Structure 1
Amino acid sequence: DLASFQKQASSQVLTSSACYEAFSSMGIEYGEGHRGIQELYVGAGLVLARLSLPSTLSASASRYVLHPSLMDSALQATVGFLLGARGDLSPNPILPFVLQKLEVYQACASEMWAVLRHSEGSQAGGAVEKLDIDLCDEAGRVSVRIKGFTYRALDAKTPSGQEGKNDPLVGKLTLAPVWDVVTPERVPSFPASADRVLVVGGTSEQQRSVRLHLSNVQSLDLQPSDSIAEIGDKLQRLGSFDHIFWIAPERALSSVTNEALVREQEEGVLLLFRTVKALLQAGYESRPLGWTVLTTQAQPLHAQEQVNPTHASLHGLVGSLAKEYPRWKIRLVDLEAGAWPLVDLLQLPSDRRGRSWVYRGGEWHRQQLVLLQAAPADGTLYRQGGVYVVIGGAGRIGEAWTEYMIRRYEAQVVWIGRRQPDASIRAKLEALGRHGKAPHYVAADATDAASLQRARYEIKQRYGRIDGIIHSAMVLQDAGLDRMEEAQFRTGFSAKADVSLRVAQVFRDEPLDFVLFFSSIISFIKNANQSHYAAGCTFMDAFAHQMAREMSCRVKVMNWGYWNAEEIVHSKEGELLSQVGIGFVEPKEAMEAL
């Protein structure tokens, strides 16, 4: 009964402009498409909001059951409780945290009413408030019912001794990457019509398309064998320029065992690395420079999508590049095969964080990490007494995984490492042997197919079978792109990329239970000074996705956060992580997550 609710909530009536001025005072500036509150009625324990879809979005009304603008406006109406309780607002924004249940009865209309009340047992005005929200049409028919919506002010404190218990973003978290359909904010043509543009790569048709839309275009002919000095000479002959249009080669991939996956890095991430080095030597470090970097079908949006992971490595390098050189405006795009939406693409904004735009089926997508609250597993791919091969097993994570498997599953673990077993490795093997079967160590170069094949033969001769493979190899030596040598970049990159390919080539016909890739959250945050590692991890993630489509066994990826280790906790990076509230992964919780 909306008329009855309106009488109950008549103690305070706010106009649309008053509501959005209140949000502005908290530092939240809503754009035109998110200003759906028309009037807000506030009473004792009750808020009533009249909502209307902004006219700029009227054409999209039929596309949604739950229109994002109306739903967001319904949540915005919680500001009525803050105004009703305190009469004013603190400068701290309120943030949504939890939604317990959502029931949908019918699609939202363009004109809606939202009725907000405290959930049963919720404490009004407390640190944590739970609300129930009903969205009704103008006749009072309920379209959507929200139960247990929780919001928090940014500076809200939990009761003493309860830290973290009500806050789902505190504690050990498991996050999952998802791709959302988005409507990009359009910008004037980037590059601008007057900008001098260099086009690198692409087919003759793609280059012709760029020339049709941009007036001042030159081609920069780079070869995979070009050195940094040779690239620098070519750049110098072309004179100054404002924007680089980098188009990664588009080729079909027959299998993840194809040697081209590593060979073609020479015309992809390694050639881009050398180009960046040449630009820095030419003095572009302190100059504004635009980039458009294009790949094709390198990012998987869902489990069934086929990808070519070859140039997924560019997404790691370019992400780090964006953070190291903030004067460079960088736009990174992954297109679907055959698609060339150049007019739309030229209006996409750059991104300081180096995040990817992905184009599929006429829509743009962006990736984010969301909280995963999965039920405890009722089974496992591990087997009691299994034989498992860990490439890079002597590292921190490989060692922790090995101890867990020996203790919990009485496993026989085999480590494959590049170096011969020294005193440090022998001490680790001996210590782990006190928990059960000591790991066996095989010295082999896992970036080399023949060397890894010999290791496989030795393991099969000794143990008769292999039940699972774990790729835990990594080489991380922090350095900015201006200081990183190509050999250093290659070493860090190949520890992830080359080893992934060799695992597929050497173990593809093995009757494995699983292949497990240890990647990193660097795939998503793409830190500065870690471009080699970021490139290797983004390649590995896309490679594992495609490998899962080809192999009969399970293929899994874990993108680890920062592990608790002496060298990181007491470093400058560790101090920074602590300051921004990022904790360190402990072995016990890591094994539970796996």
Structure 2
Amino acid sequence: QPGTEVIFVAQGRSSGKQSRGQYRLNRDDGAAFRQVLDSLASDCGGDFALLYLWPLEDAGCIEDSAVLFRLLQAVGEAGRKPSRLLWAGAWRTSLERCCLESWIGWERSLGLILPQTRVAGILREAGPGPAVDMEAWLSLLWAELHTPSPQSVLYEGEQRYTCRIRPVSLGEERWRIQANGTYLITGGGGGLGRILAARLARSGPVNLILTGRSPLDARLQAELTLLEGTGSRVLYRQADVCDAVAMREVLREAKARFGGVNGVIHAAGLQSKEPLFTKSEADFARVLAPKVKGTQVLDEVLSGEPLDFLLCFSSAAAILG
């Protein structure tokens, strides 16, 4: 397009400006993101947009959410910010699609703390060959850059879809908690886990397996004793849901004591009081781990179990912003 200047930022072991319109950036170096962004913003002179396209050429960037975290932190800290930040990704597996769709949460939440930059993404399934059809992608990117109200979109063929929240009517069918059924609750020592355990125990005599990272203390033991007073049997085990070895041992013990597991409630989670732009990478990874890695561990450990249900908890902020 006449009047449009394109600056390329390629991955590399080192970071810095190579020539006019060419940069290299070490994706593992958080400080380098800010330096490169400040430099290219200076090159642009005026208003500019930032396209994060590495997930198209490097599938490793799809599951490595830390790269996008570093980029967003750099945008937040930069003196001059892009008017738009558009990311793009094509999935080949269902897990890659889950990772890409989770990035919509950035769009929903960043408007409150990064009002100068409109953030959105483009998703589509990868083509049959290993090569990326950049000509087709450039057409999509150009169109999305010029939409008056940027938002994350999904393309299926020529059809363009946007994500919407709409009300639904719940049917009469409900999950049935089996009498003397066995239910695993991750995060069972936390506030939400204890509420859910009490609710299940009141529904009838059940077997409850509660896991958590914290050791069993007197306060939690007192609550477990109250639960057992309802006629339910309760077992607490200190186990990190991200630890496949520990979770396999929990499943082994559940089978030995109760004969199996009928349902799983994944309520494990961690909170962080640090806002995005001051959060450390370690804290970001720590909070993300039980929701992402923990879910994958449960899927792996319980893949051979005939579960009635697997219920995952998440923050509404991931959907609503």
TM-score w.r.t. length of structure 2:
0.80
Deviations 1:425-479 (A, max 9, x none): 2232123223222421010111121222222222222222111111111112243
State the match for 2:103 in structure 1. Answer: 314
Q: Secondary structure at the match of 1:397?
A: helix
Q: Is the 8 A contact 2:63 2:96 kept in 1?
A: no
State the 1:318 CA deviation: 4.0
Distance 1:407 1:439, change over 3 A: same
| Deviation for aligned residue 1:281 | 4.0
In structure 1, how many angstroms separate the alpha carbons of the residues matched to 2:147 and 2:320? 13
Asked if structure 1 preserves the Cα contact closer than 8 Å seen for 2:52 and 2:85, the reply is yes
Query: What's the C-alpha RMSD, in Å, of the aligned pairs?
Result: 3.3
Aligned to 2:90: 296
Q: Which residue, 330, 345, 359 being the options, matches 2:119?
A: 330
Q: What amino acid does structure 2 have at the position aligned with 1:309?
A: C
Match of 1:429 among 215, 224, 247: 224
Pick the aligned partner of 1:475 from 270, 287, 295: 270
The corresponding residue for 1:501 is: 296
Could you tell me how far 1:200 is from its partner in structure 2?
A: 5.9
* One-letter amino acid matched to 1:265: E
Q: Are positions 1:439 and 2:234 aligned together?
A: yes
For 1:251 and 1:410, the matched residues in 2 are separated by 54
Return the letter of the residue paired with 1:365.
Y
Code of the aligned partner of 1:313: S
Residue 387 of structure 1 corresponds to which residue in structure 2?
182
The amino acid across from 1:402 in the alignment is A
Superposed displacement of residue 381, structure 1: 4.4
- 2: CA distance, partners of 1:398 / 1:324: 31
Aligned residue in 2 for 1:246: 52
CA distance in 1 between partners of 2:153 and 2:3 (Å): 22
String of CA shifts for 1:154-213, please: whole Å, max 9, x gaps: xxxxxxxxxxxxxxxxxxxxxxxxxxxxxxxxxxx8xx9445544567xxxxxxxxxxxx
Partners in 2 of 1:353 and 1:472 — Cα distance?
35
Tell me which residue corresponds to 2:213: 418
Matched, 1:403 2:198: yes
Asked if 2 retains the 8 angstrom alpha-carbon contact of 1:387 and 1:467, the reply is yes
Gaps of 5+ in 1: 1-188, 202-215, 254-259, 300-304, 527-594
Q: Identify the residue that residue 243 of structure 2 maps to in structure 1.
A: 448
- Corresponding residue of 1:347: 143
Q: Partner of 2:236: helix, strand, or coil?
A: strand
**Deviations 1:53-103 (CA, angstroms, capped at 9, x unpaired):** xxxxxxxxxxxxxxxxxxxxxxxxxxxxxxxxxxxxxxxxxxxxxxxxxxx
Q: Structure 1: how far apart are the matches of 2:150 and 2:38?
A: 27
Q: Give CA-to-partner distance per residue, 1:511-534, whole Å, 9 cap, x none.
A: 3222221223223212xxxxxxxx
* Contact 1:433–1:439, Cα closer than 8 Å, also in 2: yes
CA distance in structure 2 between the partners assigned to 1:238 and 1:473 by the alignment: 41
Alpha-carbon distance between aligned partners in 2 of 1:237 and 1:420, rounded to the nearest angstrom? 49
Could you tell me how far apart the structure 1 residues matched to 2:262 and 2:145 are? 47
CA contact (8 A) 2:269 2:290 kept: yes
CA spacing shift, 1:264–1:334, aligned 2, 3 Å: closer
Deviations 1:336-370 (A, max 9, x none): 32373432431225799984211112111112222
Q: Name the residue aligned to 2:15.
A: none
Is the CA contact 2:204–2:232 (under 8 Å) kept in the aligned structure 1? no
Residue of structure 1 in register with 2:14 after alignment: none
Given the two structures, how large is their TM-score scaled by the length of structure 1?
A: 0.46
Asked whether the 8 Å contact 2:242–2:293 carries over to 1, the reply is yes
Partner Cα separation in structure 2 for residue 350 and residue 487 of structure 1: 36
- What SS does structure 1 have at the residue aligned with 2:184? strand
Q: How many angstroms does 1:292 deviate by?
A: 1.1
1:229 corresponds to: 31
Q: Which amino acid aligns with 2:155?
A: Y
Q: Which structure has the bigger radius of gyration?
A: 1
Alpha-carbon distance in structure 2 between the residues aligned to 1:494 and 1:318: 21
Deviation track 1:285-324 (CA, whole Å, cap 9, x = no partner) reads: xx4442111122499xxxxx89632333322234323331
Shift of 1:326: 0.7
Structure 2 CA distance, aligned partners of 1:498 and 1:507? 14
Letter aligned with residue 111 of structure 2: A
Q: 1:234 to 1:344 in 2, by over 3 A?
A: closer
1:318 touches 1:354 (CA, 8 Å); kept in 2? no
**Partners in 2 of 1:480 and 1:353 — Cα distance?**
26
Partner Cα separation in structure 1 for residue 97 and residue 252 of structure 2: 30
User: Match of 1:347, SS?
Assistant: helix
Q: Deviations for 1:223-248, whole angstroms, at most 9, x for unmatched residues?
A: 3xx12123344445656343221125
SS at match of 1:327: coil
- Is 1:360 aligned to 2:166, yes or no? no
- Give secondary structure in 2 for the equivalent of 1:348: helix
Cα contact 2:119–2:150 (8 A) shared by 1 = yes
Structure 1's 499 and 330: CA in aligned 2 closer, same or farther, altered over 3 A?
same
Contact 1:248 1:311 in 2 (8 A): no
Partner of 1:562: none
Counterpart amino acid of 1:510?
Answer: E
Higher relative contact order (CA 8 A, sep 6+): 2
Structure 2: which 5+ residue stretches go unaligned? 12-19, 128-132
Equivalent position SS for 1:403: helix
Letter in 2 for 1:249: P
Contact 2:104-2:120 at 8 Å conserved across structures: no
392 and 355 in structure 1: CA distance in 2 versus 1, 3 angstrom threshold: farther
Higher helix share: 2
Report the Cα distance in structure 1 between the residues aligned to 2:32 and 2:114, rounded to whole angstroms. 23
